[in-house]
Chain A
Amino acid sequence: MEILVASAIGIMTAAGLYLVLRLRTFPVILGMSLLTYAVNVFLFASGRLTTAAPPVLRDDMSVYTDPLPQALVLTAIVISFGMTAVVVMIGLGAFLGSNDDHVDDQPEGAQDQAEGQS
């Protein structure tokens, strides 16, 4: 099971990094979302993997999984939504303002080229 989680983290990181290095804003945003998943799972897994032992106190239970990484990841998920929204807004604003969704600064006059592609 450990290798499944670890490899999932690795694959999501790899795909995330690849997409972050793309040239247009939309794939970069997707890549960052993937990286967010990877990081959240990574942090969560630092509490080690335990099945069927949620950290909700019960009289008949004695073993619980580590609750602290869960609490930290929970807020991280919500915050990352806020950050994604900001990045999307910036990307969208840039596109609407210049009709160009390149991530890198473009040489002068390159905007017109981008106009035809949609």
Chain B
Amino acid sequence: MSLFFIVALPFFGALLPGLMNPAGRSACGGVTFTVSLAAFVGLLTNLPSVLAGEVVKVQVNWLPSLGLNFSLMLDGLGFFFAFLILGIGLLIIAYARHYLSRDDNMGEFFTYLLLFQGAMVGIVLSDNILLLLVFWELTSLSSFLLIGYWKHLPEGRQGARMALTVTGMGGLSMIAGMLLLGQIVGSYDLSVILSSRELIQADPRYLPALILILLGCFTKSAQFPFHFWLPHAMAAPTPVSAYLHSATMVKAGIFLMARMWPVLSGTPEWFAIVTTAGLITMVLGAVIALFKHDLKALLAFSTVSHLGLITMLLGTGTAFGALAAMFHILNHATFKAALFMSAGIIDHETHTRDIRRLGGLRRLMPITFAIATLAALSMAGIPLLNGFLSKEMMLEEAHHTVLFQSHWLVPALATLGSLFSAAYCFRLISHTFLGPVRDDYPSKPHDPGLGLWMPPSILVILVVVIGLAPFLAEPFVKLVTASVLGDTAEVPKAHFKIWHGLTPALYMSIIATVGGLLVLAAFKPLLKAWDAAPRPEAKVIFEAVIQIAVSTARGLILPLHNGAFTRYAAIGSVVMIAVGAYAWQTGTVGAPTRTVQAAGAVPIAGWAMLVAATVALMFLHRNRLFSLMLIGIVGLMVSIGFIFFSAPDLAMTQFTVEVVTIILLLLALNFLPKQTPVESTVLRRVRDAGVGIAGGLATFMLSYHYLLRDSVATPISEFHLANSYKGGGGTNVVNVILVDFRGFDTYGEIIVLGIAALLIYALTETLLNGPVRARLLNREPDLPQAGDTHPMMMVVLTRVMMPLVLLVGFYIFLRGHNEPGGGFIAGLIVSIAVVMQYMASGFAWTSARLKYPYHGVIGAGVLIAGFTGMGAWFFSKPFLTSDFTYVRIPPFQKFELATAALFDLGVFLAVVGAVMLSLESFSRLARRANMPDSEYPMDIDPSRTDPPPDKAGSMTQEGV
């Protein structure tokens, strides 16, 4: 199967569990399992080529200009990790199906799980470091969702947030590191980078790049000092912990270190940083794990410790270290996933994970006991189990490692780590399973069903098989190691054997095991000492750091953004004017090239009306109704100006928009206060007037300047004028530009318009479902209501006019391509026709007669326009390429058929839908506010307030 499918399957498959949710838990788990299985089988089909030592590659250019290509590759290392991710993923899915309770939303869980799986597979198969970064961030995000899956638990949310913060920060620094690396090499392709070892290590940017990339790896793989997030992520459901912390998420950092091993390792810097961090993490994690009482916390810290071990092995920079690291990754994935699942079983059956409340489970849960004990003994490094083999190799490697000129530092610490590791494994076994059977378990434990114990037992079989017959795993691990090493070193000849003879590693191992038993024997006093010892609590420190960051941000932002929006507007305007003035000062002004056109009396009169209305608006804006009339005059004069200056399309648009805008503002004003009170001081008004005048002067000077000069370059409009008829088939150049030359712009604009209308609808819905609803229902109109809500003359007139207006709209639409008009204007005209009905005959009457919801009309418009554009694809033309032809149907004259007209139909529908949806939303508010709308038009409202209420009351009493 192509690598694309292996990566894409989990992502597309993530759509399925949510859909299958209503079909039941088994269907939901089943579909997830099938998706994973398909990807797994797809991976296995590539096994022959991987075994043959080939590197499978596929590539699609994505953004070649950025060096970002969707290129994938599969070599031994990638196959190994993908195998772990998908294989253990399958077991986890089967386990989770039985683990999650009926209250948990299984579809959601499996959706997140598949997203995460896809992102992980993407990381290990990426052949482009930018693509790898994308997947890397995706794992951070999807693991956030998984860890916080139990949203009702505060620990879950906090753990998820902490994991996201830490790994997200690491991811950011890794982006920087990868970009540096890409700049050094000149390519973002891994294959190129991996073969540029000398170039990279000689570059002065090597060290910063190394540190940044390692920050990303260490945060992801929970290396000291970033280890603290991992235990808190244990608040997740156990299948998540088992998946993320045994085989996948935390191994991503290890994977990357292994992937970059050929180019980054082998320098003193790499050795010092990676080995030290790994060593500290290993010892620290093991010591803390011993004293944890929560089973999962114990396993979490043991994971931290084992990750440290692997990191240290990679840090040594020797081929043998890499071999041991790869082997231990395999072993750790098997026994740790089995242990996590066993912990989940114990939690599931006894309802507690606290070791202090457990004990004696060996008789009650024999199967679980067998699974957990074998896995734990393997983790402790007991012979005949696979953990022993890789631990021996680690000790062997540690024995040869010289850190800080000390021959004993690494071996001693490695032995100490193994000692504590053995101790917590023994504690896990003895305090949970051994000892007398208790009678105070929170729930009576017994072995779970097959679904829960089957997945871990498969893993434990692997643990034993590899432990007994290591030569079975050897060729595969060596193949993986070969692809880690690249061409930098030979794969070591050493064989995986249980018995190497009396080597130093064996003595260290014996010390560790015996020491572990001794520590367990002395556990009680040690615990007392541990509890008494002061130690920094990572969570508190983390939260303090976050708190400091938050309060610093508040301290900086709140004084600037204090909620005084008018102040922002004033500052913004002044700055813009100042910048413009500066640009004006420093630029050069050429001499006028155009002659001033003389103005007749009519233009001057129009100008005078516009100016008078504008100035009056400034002074009389407190009377809101009057100010609406004034702004109407301004709009009207602007429309007339458009006609005068040869823009009939603009004039028609402006005029119709004016009508709907005024209706809209009137609808809003219905609820708003009718007067604006005097609040601002005289000084403030003078200041604002100053800002206004400065801005006005600026625009005046700028426009006057360019009106008297020709453009510096030839305008592209010549092209439009020349090709409008030839290429677009229309003589109205403005319309042809809209629907043809710049159709893509128009397409975007109708979508924006539709979104604006939907936003208004959504806001209305929110208002009507919230506390505002009650307020609206109780609201008394603040002005006397007209007696006849639907005056008969208006009703009759608007109904008679309706077909005429629709006809005009239709005509305007049809002629749009060749004469002023088109979809925008026709849409506005038809909207006005419908609005007239709303106004005259009432909301209920009109909406009862409208068949199509306006959302649908908007959608239909956008779709028609979109499909028209896509139609061009069938003729191998780019999106929105138009075509036209002339046809003649006998009784009519020859006329034109253009795809642009279909596009214009989409524009028309979108405009009608958007305008009507906005206006309708406003009137729905009004409808809630006032009396229930009458079914009948031309009715008389009996509750009119025209006659004073007392008089009306007496009249009713008298029976008049």
Chain A residues close to B by CB (< 8 Å):
1-27, 29-30, 33-34, 37-38, 40-42, 44-58, 64-68, 70-71, 73-75, 77-86, 88-93, 95-97, 99, 101, 103-105, 117-118
Contact = CB atoms under 8 A, between A and B. Distances in A.
Interface string B490-532: 0000000000000000000000000000000000000000000
A36 B706 CA distance: 20
A64 B721 contact: yes
Contacts of A73: 647, 650
For chain B, give the interface size range: 35 or more
B564 interface: yes
Contact of B733 (A20, A27, A64): A64
B566 A103 contact: yes
Contact of A47 (B679, B693, B701, B717): B717
A42 B699 CA distance: 8
A67 B566 contact: no
B756 A101 contact: no
B700 A78 contact: no
B672 A13 contact: no
Contacts of B649: 70, 74
Contacts of B647: 44, 54, 65, 70, 73
Interface of B: 562-567, 569-570, 573, 594, 596-599, 603-604, 607, 610-611, 614-615, 617-618, 621, 624, 627, 631, 634-635, 638, 641-642, 644-650, 653-654, 657, 660-661, 664-665, 668-669, 671-677, 679-680, 688-689, 691-693, 695-704, 706-708, 710-711, 715-717, 720-721, 724-725, 731-734, 737-738, 742, 745-746, 749, 752-753, 756-757, 759-760, 763-764, 766-767, 770-772, 775-776, 782, 818-820, 824, 828, 911, 914-915, 918, 921-922, 925
Contacts of A2: 594, 596-597, 704, 707-708
B204 to A, nearest CB: 50
Contacts of A68: 715-717, 720, 737
B564 A67 contact: no
A13 B911 CA distance: 28
B657 A78 contact: yes
Contacts of A92: 668, 671-672, 922, 925
Contacts of A38: 699
Contacts, number: 322
B564 A104 contact: yes
Contact of A82 (B738, B742, B764, B914): B914
A18 B737 contact: no
Contacts of B597: 1-2, 49, 51
B618 A23 contact: no
Contacts of B660: 81
A61 B567 CA distance: 52
A64 B725 CA distance: 14
A85 B757 contact: yes
Given A18-B618, A49-B707, A54-B646, A74 B824 contact: yes
Nearest to A90: B763
A101 B696 CA distance: 27
A58 B550 CA distance: 66
Nearest to A6: B704
A22 B646 contact: no
- Interface pairs A-B: 4 shortest CB-CB: A105-B563, A14-B696, A10-B700, A82-B756
A118 B698 CA distance: 36
A11 B673 contact: no
Most buried by A among B565, B611, B692, B921: B692
Contact of A55 (B573, B644, B716, B732): B732
B911 A78 contact: yes
8 contacts: A6-B704, A30-B621, A57-B724, A65-B646, A65-B647, A74-B653, A82-B914, A91-B672
A23 B617 contact: no
A99 B627 CA distance: 22
B665 A88 contact: yes
B641 A5 contact: yes
